[in-house]
Amino acid sequence: MSIIKALDILNQNGVVAFPTETVYGLGAKIDSDEALKKIFSTKERPFFDPLIVHVDTIDKAKACFKHWNPVAECMAKNFWPGPLTIVMEKSELISDVITSGLSSVGVRIPDHPVALELLQKIKIPLAAPSANKFGKTSPTSAAHVKKEFLETVYVLESDIPCQIGIESTVLLVRNNLDISILRPGLIVKSEIEKILIQNKVSYQWKETVDKKESPGHLKHHYMPEIPFVICRNPHMKVKDVGQIVDQRLSALPDEVEGVKILKPGKPVSKIEFLKLAETPQQAAREIYSQLRTASERKPDLLCLALLKDYSAGPDAEMWDSVLDRLFKAASLVID
C-alpha cells in the first residue's frame, strides 16, 4: 500500500523519503526538473550542492554516464548494491539541476530492499540527497525524517534499519582513470585498492581534488539542534569544558558557507556527553541517532570526549570516516 502511494507521489512530480542502507534519502524522478527543484526547496539546500542518483541495476547506472570504464566496472561489480557512489562524466539523461551545472554525476545502487523495490517499480532513476534540512544531521529512521520536515514529506517506512548509518563513500573516477575519494565512508581506500589490484585494473590515486570537482564539500555539516563540541583531551574536567566553551564559542562566526554555527545562548551548565561505540561500524550506525536523541533532552551543550587514539590499528580508516562526520557536526574542537 505505502509503496503504491510513494509511486503515485513520485509520478506526480513530488518527493518521497525512502530508506537506504546508509541514511534516508529524499527522492525525486530524474526526468522531472519540477520534482528535482522540490528536493532543494524542501531541504533548503543551495543549488551549488549536487545530488546523488540512485538506480537498481548496473545497466541503468551506465546510462547515467557518458563513458564506462574498467575501474567503474570493477567497483560496481564488487561494491553494488552498497555504500559507494561513483562520480564520472554525465550522459544527456542527467539534468543540470541534479549536478549543479557540473559535467559529472554521482550514481549508486543502494543495498536496501525497500529502496530497491521502489527503484524497480518506478523504473526511472531517483535523485536523492539525505532527507534532512541543509547542513543538519542525517536521518537514519522514518521518525527522524518526519520530525525534520514536520510530517510534510511522505516517508516510506521499513522495519529494516539503516545498517551502515553514515553516507556512502564518494569516489571520483576521471577519464584517465585517476581516482580520488571525495567523501569518506565505510568502504575505505585500502578496500578499494585491494579490489582493484586483485582484479588487475589499472588506476592511479590522485590526492589533490580541485574545488570545482567537489563543490558540496563543506567545513560544517550534519549539525545537531544543540551546539556540539569535541574534546580531544580525555582528562579535561567537565567544568573546564563549560568554561572553555563559554569563552571560545562566542568568538566563532555565526555562519560558515551557509551553515549556521550553533552556540549556547547562556553560560553552559547542563552538558550531555556522547559515547562512541566500540567498533567503527557500530559507531557509524548510531552517531546520527545519538546526536538527535541527546539534543532532545535540551542540554546547553553536547560533548564528545575522544578517549583513545582512533588513528592507529586496523580500523583507523573506518574511524576516520566516522570522525569526519563528527568533526563537521561540531561547532568547536577543544584540544
Where does this chain bind Mg ion (CB under 5 A)? Answer: 130
Residue 241 CB, shortest distance to ligand TXA, in Å, is 30
Return the one option of Mg ion, ligand TXA, none that residue 295 interacts with (CB less than 5 to 8 A, by type): none
Tell me how far apart the alpha carbons of residues 200 and 74 are, in angstroms, rounded to a whole number: 10
Shorter beta-carbon distance to ligand TXA: residue 111 or 300:
111
C-alpha count within 13 angstroms, C-beta hemisphere, residue 313: 10
Return the one option of Mg ion, ligand TXA, none that residue 21 interacts with (CB less than 5 to 8 A, by type): none
Return the one option of Mg ion, ligand TXA, none that residue 6 interacts with (CB less than 5 to 8 A, by type): none
Residue 105 CB, shortest distance to ligand TXA, in Å, is 5
DSSP annotation of 152: -
Shorter beta-carbon distance to ligand TXA: residue 170 or 301:
170
Return the one option of ligand TXA, Mg ion, none that residue 111 interacts with (CB less than 5 to 8 A, by type): none
Residue 130 CB, shortest distance to Mg ion, in Å, is 3
Q: Which residues bind ligand TXA (CB under 6 A)?
A: 20, 22-23, 25, 49-52, 83, 85, 87, 99, 102, 104-106, 110, 128-130, 167-168, 170, 182-183, 214, 216-217
Please state at what angle helix 70-79 crosses helix 189-198, rounded to 10 degrees.
Answer: 110
Return the one option of ligand TXA, Mg ion, none that residue 183 interacts with (CB less than 5 to 8 A, by type): ligand TXA
Label residues 13-33 b or e (16+ Cβ within 10 Å = b): bbbbbbbbbbbbbbbbbbebe
Asked if 22 and 115 touch (Cβ cutoff 8 Å), the reply is no
Residue 173 CB, shortest distance to ligand TXA, in Å, is 11
Tell me how far apart the alpha carbons of residues 277 and 292 are, in angstroms, rounded to a whole number: 16
Shorter beta-carbon distance to Mg ion: residue 130 or 180:
130
Asked if 62 and 149 touch (Cβ cutoff 8 Å), the reply is no
Please state at what angle helix 316-329 crosses helix 280-296, rounded to 10 degrees.
Answer: 20
